[in-house]
Structure 1
Amino acid sequence: MTQVKKLWPLLTATHRYDKSISTFNRGRGQQIEAPILAYLIETANGRILYDVGCDHAKINDPLASARYYDPAVFEFGAPEMRDEQRIPRHLARLGLTPADVDVIFIGHLHFDHAGGLKD
């Protein structure tokens, strides 16, 4: 087992929605702003990126957003994601590039965990 030397939480987007959607109907009518996070983990054996956030193009292109996040079929609606929240931008602020990441680990294949693989 390797030891973690540093850990960076990376805010990749935020999602506003009715709290009851994620709390088994508790808090109905209360809007929450949930962070969508990825994590950069530096170990003695290399850097691990855990999750990659959303696909920026699907959120910020009006046609793609309407197709993938239409509230009539996807009750959460589209998250909010700025260009500077993309993984390559986070890495650049740390003096890194995507090539400096040794392993990408995706927790599961939902849009908010794996969509950013495109970057």
Structure 2
Amino acid sequence: MEKIILSMLLCCVSLLTAQQSHASMQELQVTCLDCHLKEQIPDDLIYRRYLMEYSTPTNMKVAIKTYLKNPQKEHSIMPLPFFLKFPMKEALQLEDNRLEKNIDAFLQHYDIKKKLVLP
């Protein structure tokens, strides 16, 4: 009986986590990625550049938030020629908690660990 209850609880928790993850991804899509798609900005390239420069999700999150709150070429991870092809980003008018949720969703979506295959 205890195993059944534990199994049901685990199912409910995983379902709630999946729903929250899906909602976060939908907000990220509407807030950020739709515009990136229209402008043909390569999100995976941006993620890889942040990963190479900052190494950890915590450091990446701080750098991304700094750039999005005050988008200037000095804060950008992208090289100067990038801005010849793509427009300079305008500051996002999001509350800090929503901005952080979108950054977390971005980092989870492009997380390189998901692409690793263990033998």
Normalised by the length of structure 1, the TM-score is 0.30
Name the structure with the higher strand share.
1
TM-score by length of 2: 0.30
Which structure's CA Rg is the greater one?
Answer: 2
